[in-house]
Each structure stands twice: as structure tokens, then as C-alpha cells.
Amino acid sequence: MVPPWRINEVLDRAKNGPFCREKDFDMKILWPKLREAVKEYDIKFDPENIVPSDDSLADDVWMAGYNLYLETGTLCKSTNRRILFDEEEVKEALALHPRKIRCGFGKDSSEMFHREIEDKRRPFCFLSPDITCDEEIFIPMTMAYLQEPIADGVCAPILEEIEGRDIKVSDPFEVKGSIAHAMMFREAARRVGRPGLFLKSVGTAISDAAQIAASNQEWGERLTDSRFVASIAELKTDFSLLNKMVHFHEYGCYIGALFGPMKGGYCGGPEGTAIVGVAHFLQGLMVNQAHWSNYFPIDIRNNSNTSRELLWVVSVTYQAVAKNSPFISTSNGFASAGPCTPMVLYEAAVHGLVSVVSGGNLWEIGVACNKYKNRTTPMEARMACEVGLGAAKEQVKREDANLLAKEIVSKYEKEIDNPPLGKTFQECYDIRKVKPSEEYIELYRKIKKELEDLGVPFLY
């Protein structure tokens, strides 16, 4: 099974590739070549087609991103060297990449696979808080996500403190906090009766040293779990990330590539963001050496991806990848509104719908612009996944998904830059019983009924 693809080649090129300062990479290589690609392939965002049905658009976005990556490569910030690959090498890695992986173990194991456009197979559902939380509620919050029957995999929240001490990158308390994170995550999984579930960790560990410290089959990260090697926006890496890549492969666990091209930065508009998204998928294959990926194009202004523009980026990128590659990927939602608000449930529903119909698996969902500690619950993820699973079950077509997406987006788009903050996990859940509040249950049922009346599909 590939990856890894010739690890030493990647590391050699990170040290010996063509020299390039970061500013020159951004302004003299990436930016002009991206503008040329948008023009050459005539990529245009259409606000009336959030979910496009044009297969030629998907092919054009793929080829634009593919050729962009061959021309730009990846910049290693630790050396100011470009990691470049020729087309034969990329084709080899694509041809040998697995189209499915077995995740977790025992009764809790499941399969994550490459999905096609309008694929009727059940998408893999990863549930994740995507936010920091207080140490005191780490276990109940994690249990709340783990106990959702819809979850095929779970990522835990992130710790900012451990035993009353701040966790800072490369500080000894980062190592201590990361080990505690791994231990408590395993405990939470046992307590809900799902010890073998596919766990993604350790979000608390930013540095390579802290990630390596949490690798332990007995109490920490197992071979059946997964770890992230992130990319630095746009199309960059560094030695810390490469150290993680080497360790994870030699330890033997699955690697996920994590990347989020930013609309409004060097990507420019939605067209450039989609093209750079495809290039990031290729970096995930060649540099991050990943078995699967987690993709989240994001608006640099409001840190969300549920606007018309960003949903279009999600859709066209996943259609490009679904149609032209073997990649296994989860689509990571980021909502503007906070928990226990109608808006966040609309945002979750439309992200799940658009992602699944376009060929993505699901990673749901960061909320409240992913900025506020403790402000997330599994209810938002449940909404996104119920709709996504319903779309696959009912074999929803792109044309129909587009009509539904426009209807849902119209309910909240005027508020996307000034969204309601909502409530904290503690306000939405009984922490001792790990149960959602009656208020949130009633709101969920109300919004679900409203969406069903519009024709939005649900799992049940």
C-alpha cells in the first residue's frame, strides 16, 4: 500500500531543492501562476450554482490545480527550498494510492473510501468539536461526540491548560498535556462502549515532540488510529511537519493530510481557492504522504465555509477530486453561528448536503467561527451527518442539491458576517448525564421538520 512514496526523496528535496524565499514563492511563483490558471481554464464562480452540474468544470479545476502543483511544488520554510516533483512521479503515486482503508478495530471498525460524485454509498462520518475546551469538561464533551451512533470516527477537543498550567508550543507542559489528552480520549471511548472506534489525535500537540510523545499502543495513540500532518497555507511545509510524517509512518499509524486554502489570501477569490485546493490534495499525497485527507477551504475574513462562495469551492473541488483521483477525503465544515441557534443548524445541514453529493466524506463541524472555547456540541455535527447520509441514501442529484442549497443558504446568508454566538457546551448539555438539553432537542426537531418540508433528505 502506498503511501509512503519514497520518504527519503521528499526529505532530500526539502534540503536540496531550488532555493526560494517565502515572499518570492508567494508573489513571484504562486500568485502569478494561479492567475494564469484561472484565466487559461476559464474558471468562474456562479452564485446560482452552488452545486454545479458541469462535469467539464470539475475536469478543468482538476487540471488547473494539477498543473499548478507541478509548476510550484511545496516550499519548505525551514530551508527555503522548493520540493518539486515531475509528472511521472505524481502519476505513479496516484496510481498506487489506496481507494479505501480499514479504520479502528474490532466491533467498532469501519471502512473509509474514495467517493464518487452523487455516490449512493454511505459516507464516512467523522465528528469533531474543532475547538478548545476546559480540562474539566474534556471527558464529558468527548463522550458526547463518541456516543453519537452516527459517528464512524471522532476527534477530541483541544486542551489549552493542564493541571492549572498553560500549554504552549514546545513547552514541557505541551508534552504533558498531549499525553493527558491521549489518555482521556481513550478513557472516554471505553466509557461509551466504543473502545475500538477510529480516533484522530492529538489536537493538543502542535509540535513534533508532543505528537511523538503521545504514540503509545497501551495508553495513547494506537496503530489503528490516525494522526494529522498539516500543510501551511499556501502549499508550504517545515521540518516539524516532516518530522511528524516520518515518525507516523515509522510508528505505523494512518496519516491524514490537513489543509485549508484561504479565500481572500494568496488564493484570491473562490476560483483560485478551488484550484489551490486541488494542489493541496497533491501536496498531501506527495509531501504529507497521507492515506486520507481533511479539506476545509475557508474565508479569511470570517473563518467559515458556509457562504455561497465557499460552498461552491467545496463542491467543485470535491467533484474535481472525485472524478479524477483515488483520494479518500473528509469535508470539514466551519459554521459562523454558535450552538443552539437555528442558523448553525441550517449551516450544518447545507454543508453536509453539498459535500456528500459532490463526492466527499464528512468531518463535522467547527462552529462559532471556530474561535470560542467550549462553544460547540455534537448536535451540529449530527445535523450535518444526518443530511449527508440522507442525501446518499436518497441518491440526490446535483441539480436537486443545488436548489435545496440555495434555499437553505438564503435563510442565513445576511447574518454570516454578524452571526449569533449561541451557547456553550455546558449550557447545551447536562454534563453529568452527557445529554443535550430539552431546549436544544426541541430546536433540533423544529429545524429538521422545517428542512424536511423543503425536501431536504434525512437518514430517518
Supply the DSSP string of 320-378, one letter for each residue. Answer: HHHHH----EEEEEE-SS-SSSHHHHHHHHHHHHHHHHHT-EEEEEE-GGG-STT---H
pLDDT along the chain (460 residues), means of 10: 87 98 98 98 98 98 98 98 98 96 96 98 97 97 98 98 96 98 98 98 96 97 97 98 98 97 97 98 98 98 97 98 98 98 98 98 97 97 98 98 98 97 98 98 98 97
**Any bridge partners for residue 256, and if so which?**
228, 292
Place of cell 454545479: 52
Instruction: List the domains of the chain with CATH numbers.
Output: 100-454 (3.20.20.460)
User: Per the structure block, which three cell numbers stand in for 190?
Assistant: 471505553
Residues 6+ apart with CB under 8 A from 48: 406
pLDDT score for 5 = 86
pLDDT score for 340 = 98
Report the C-alpha gap between 341 and 328 in whole angstroms: 32
Residues 6+ apart with CB under 8 A from 224: 103, 104, 105, 109, 196, 198, 253
Q: How far is CA 406 from CA 310, 350, 457, in A?
A: 13, 9, 15
Q: Which of 215, 224, 300, 290 shows the shortest CA–CA distance to 260?
A: 300
Contact 362, 345 (CB under 8 A): no
User: Per the structure block, which three cell numbers stand in for 191?
Assistant: 466509557
Report the C-alpha gap between 259 and 423 in whole angstroms: 28
**Any bridge partners for residue 354, and if so which?**
none
* Phi-psi sector, 185: left (phi>0), alpha (psi -120 to 50), beta: alpha
pLDDT score for 391 = 98
pLDDT score for 1 = 64
CA-CA-CA-CA dihedral for 222, 181, 174, 238, to nearest 10? 50
pLDDT score for 194 = 98
Q: How far is CA 75 from CA 92, 182, 288, in A?
A: 22, 31, 13
Q: Whole-model pTM?
A: 0.97
Q: Which of 365, 350, 277 shows the shortest CA–CA distance to 50?
A: 350
pLDDT score for 63 = 98
